A and B are shown apart, each in its own frame.
Chain A
Amino acid sequence: MSESSAAILIEASYFVTAVLFIMGLKRMSSPVTARSGILWAGAGMLVATLVTFLYPGMTNYEFIIPAIVIGSSLAWWSGKRVAMTNIPQMIALYNGMGGGAAAAIAAVELYRGGSPGPAISTLAVVGGIIGAVSFSGSAIAFSKLQGLIKGSLRFGGQKFLTLIVLIGALALGALVASGFNTSPAVVTGIFVAALVLGVSMTLPIGGADMPVVISLYNALTGLAVAFEGFVLNNAAMIIAGTVVGSAGTLLTQLMAKAMNRSLGNVLFAGFGDSAVAATGEATSGSLKPIEASDVGVMMAFAQKVIIVPGYGMAVAQAQHKIWELCQLLIDRGVMVKFAIHPVAGRMPGHMNVLLAEAGVPYDLIADLDEINSEFETADVALVIGANDVVNPSARLDKSSPIYGMPILNADKAKNVIVIKRGKGTGFSGIENALFYLDNARMLYGDAQKAAAELIAAIKAVG
């Protein structure tokens, strides 16, 4: 094939890829067509990758092919075996890899030097910085959600350090982009500063805010890919990267809104600092334990039971047992519903994935707006491994750090049963006023074991 016909084939294929990506994402935004959406986008990726092998002037196939084989196999293997509970950190990991790849493209172009002009150099530098920040930031986000880094690290002058590193990266970037000094040492300095920036930006952010951060880095990687697309004059990268950049930005805003946190607040305020001081108020009263057999009777003779699942349920892998429990109740004529908070699980929609995995049908799952008025008519609200999302302090206590966050009004049910491992606080470290209410009872134990006990108790009722 001649070079010009190869070029035309590549351009045409990239066009098809861009269309497939956009149609695929569009289909992914509705539950009915979502599965076909990823297949469309996957086809687009395959077309673009295969046709790139025909790129005029390509060499180094002996490196390209092994790199693809190794990277793909590792990702395939890890993606297939990751538990659904750990999906958020895997998204962070894969996203960070994309950011790293964008930074690598920038590095290759910048180390090569030459003079592509100030506009292209600027795009290469900015894309490289964003990609490197996304790479190291996502790595920290992954480590935090995976439990490799515990707690949020803060020290005096941390914001100052972040600011200094940011200015450093931009200043060195300006030197290179303007063509004033394009020496390898300066180029290296840009990337080192950007990598440190990603780490120092992400370390102080608490685990509860991580989904917002991951989503933000997802959008940033998209932007970095688009910028490097301009550098390489690659339309598929420009369009796909920009679409992800803007879609990811909107998704980040939606998530932050669901958590009642502004993006600026997530990134620049230390969450939990004020929490310790503010928890004293709501914790009057005592925790009242209850036996599983009593709960079983209570639920068996209830008319309506609302289940409020949280991440604790998923960690204990209790969703299958809980669904078994619900089926028993449904057979007895009890009306059962699941109430899902937007941030139940580790990110919006994560709990729906986990319940779907256990086989819970769609029509039993309600979101916050649908279900909140129904708690008043519910005989039992069963809270399993959820904490902050049912804390009435968010509605009542103005001094609480989560005041104003939309919550599930589980406290309004006639009886509230909380299945909980121990007396510890939730992910945000805030004491939960719900547990101390007169209509609340604590069922201590592992969620899976507690669910099994409840199933036995309901069967015993007959």
Chain B
Amino acid sequence: MTGIVALYIFMLAAFTGYEIIARVPVILHTPLMSGSNFVHGIVLVGAMVALGEAHTPLEKSIGFIGVLLASGNAVGGYVVTERMLEMFKASGARAKKEVKEAP
């Protein structure tokens, strides 16, 4: 990847992130922060590569900690986001049910 292409990717991805968030309602701020926290768990693939190419014991130890932390980021981020968003769905369904039950 040449420098200028890398710069273009960086710029376009930055605009994309901004556009996605720009019109989000306050009620979703916490789940969305949690969701974006999950997305940067992609650092796991980098940590895997770093450990996979490590040679000395020092590199291996740091790489091991990196993979450990990164998988915590990815899995933990997924679990808490999913738990939160699942409740949002349930609350909508329950609200509808109650409207129907009302005389």
Contact between A38 and B35, CB atoms less than 8 A apart: yes
Interface of A is mostly: helix
| A-side interface size class | 35 or more
Rounded to whole angstroms, the CA-CA distance of A48 and B95 in the bound complex is: 38
Rounded to whole angstroms, the CA-CA distance of A387 and B76 in the bound complex is: 32
Q: A218-B36, A348-B26, A352-B27 are in contact. Are A64 and B80 (CB under 8 A)?
A: no
Contact between A60 and B60, CB atoms less than 8 A apart: yes
Chain A residues near B62 (CB-CB < 8 A): 104, 107-108, 111
Contact between B18 and A250, CB atoms less than 8 A apart: yes
> Among B20, B39, B54, which residue has the most Cβ atoms of chain A within 10 A?
B39
Rounded to whole angstroms, the CA-CA distance of A149 and B13 in the bound complex is: 37
Question: CB of A222 within 8 A of chain B?
Answer: yes
Closest to A331 in B: B102
Rounded to whole angstroms, the CA-CA distance of A37 and B31 in the bound complex is: 11
Rounded to whole angstroms, the CA-CA distance of A242 and B38 in the bound complex is: 14
**Binary per-residue interface labels of chain B (53-71) against chain A in the complex, 1 for a CB within 8 Å, 0 otherwise:** 1111011101111111111
Rounded to whole angstroms, the CA-CA distance of A221 and B20 in the bound complex is: 18
Rounded to whole angstroms, the CA-CA distance of A78 and B61 in the bound complex is: 24
Rounded to whole angstroms, the CA-CA distance of A199 and B71 in the bound complex is: 23
Q: Which 10 residue pairs of A and B lie closest in terms of their CB atoms, listed nearest first?
A: A104-B66, A361-B95, A79-B79, A75-B76, A71-B71, A246-B17, A58-B52, A101-B70, A242-B13, A98-B73
Q: Nearest Cβ in chain B — how far from A365, in angstroms?
A: 8
Tell me the count of chain B residues lying within 8 A, CB to CB, of chain A.
85
In the complex, which residues 40-96 of chain A have their Cβ closer than 8 Å to any Cβ of chain B?
41-42, 45, 48-49, 52-53, 55, 57-61, 63-64, 67-68, 70-72, 74-76, 78-80, 82, 84, 87-88, 90-91, 93-95
Q: Nearest Cβ in chain A — how far from B94, in angstroms?
A: 6
Rounded to whole angstroms, the CA-CA distance of A360 and B91 in the bound complex is: 7
Chain A residues near B10 (CB-CB < 8 A): 226, 238, 242
Contact between B20 and A243, CB atoms less than 8 A apart: yes
Question: CB of A273 within 8 A of chain B?
Answer: no
Contact between A68 and B88, CB atoms less than 8 A apart: no
In the complex, which residues 2-52 of chain B have their Cβ closer than 8 Å to any Cβ of chain A?
3, 6, 9-10, 13-18, 20-52
Other A-B pairs, 20, CB within 8 Å; known A348-B30, A353-B30 = A25-B35, A31-B88, A35-B86, A38-B85, A48-B44, A60-B51, A67-B64, A72-B74, A94-B38, A94-B77, A97-B76, A98-B41, A100-B69, A108-B59, A218-B33, A225-B40, A230-B6, A251-B21, A349-B29, A359-B91
Rounded to whole angstroms, the CA-CA distance of A26 and B3 in the bound complex is: 28
Chain B residues near A112 (CB-CB < 8 A): 55, 59
Question: CB of A282 within 8 A of chain B?
Answer: no
Chain B residues near A221 (CB-CB < 8 A): 37, 40, 43
Closest to B78 in A: A42
Contact between A71 and B69, CB atoms less than 8 A apart: yes
Contact between B94 and A98, CB atoms less than 8 A apart: no
- A residues lining the B interface (CB < 8 Å): 14, 17, 21-22, 24-26, 28-31, 34-35, 37-39, 41-42, 45, 48-49, 52-53, 55, 57-61, 63-64, 67-68, 70-72, 74-76, 78-80, 82, 84, 87-88, 90-91, 93-95, 97-98, 100-102, 104-105, 107-109, 111-112, 119, 214-215, 218, 221-222, 225-226, 228-230, 232-248, 250-251, 254-255, 258, 340, 342, 345, 347-350, 352-353, 355-357, 359-363, 365, 367
Q: Nearest Cβ in chain A — how far from B39, in angstroms?
A: 5
Contact between A17 and B95, CB atoms less than 8 A apart: no
Rounded to whole angstroms, the CA-CA distance of A17 and B36 in the bound complex is: 14
Rounded to whole angstroms, the CA-CA distance of A363 and B90 in the bound complex is: 14
Q: A31-B88, A243-B17 are in contact. Are A104 and B31 (CB under 8 A)?
A: no
Chain B residues near A245 (CB-CB < 8 A): 14, 17
Chain B residues near A111 (CB-CB < 8 A): 56, 58-59, 62
Contact between B80 and A82, CB atoms less than 8 A apart: yes
Chain A residues near B45 (CB-CB < 8 A): 14, 48-49, 52, 234, 236-237
Q: A37-B85, A105-B43 are in contact. Are A362 and B95 (CB under 8 A)?
A: yes
Contact between A356 and B91, CB atoms less than 8 A apart: yes
Chain A residues near B35 (CB-CB < 8 A): 24-25, 28, 37-38, 41
Chain B residues near A350 (CB-CB < 8 A): 30
Interface of B is mostly: helix
**Contacting residue for A31 out of B6, B27, B83, CB 8 A:** B27
Rounded to whole angstroms, the CA-CA distance of A26 and B22 in the bound complex is: 10
Contact between A247 and B42, CB atoms less than 8 A apart: no
Closest to B81 in A: A38
**Contacting residue for A104 out of B13, B29, B65, B76, CB 8 A:** B65
Q: Nearest Cβ in chain A — how far from B60, in angstroms?
A: 6
Contact between B31 and A90, CB atoms less than 8 A apart: no
Rounded to whole angstroms, the CA-CA distance of A97 and B86 in the bound complex is: 24
Contact between B63 and A237, CB atoms less than 8 A apart: no
Chain B residues near A17 (CB-CB < 8 A): 42
Can you pick out 27 interface pairs between chain A and chain B where the beta carbons lie within 8 Å of each other?
A24-B39, A26-B20, A31-B27, A31-B88, A35-B88, A38-B85, A41-B78, A42-B82, A45-B78, A79-B75, A91-B77, A95-B37, A97-B70, A98-B41, A98-B69, A100-B65, A101-B69, A104-B47, A104-B62, A107-B62, A218-B37, A236-B42, A237-B42, A238-B10, A247-B21, A247-B32, A361-B95
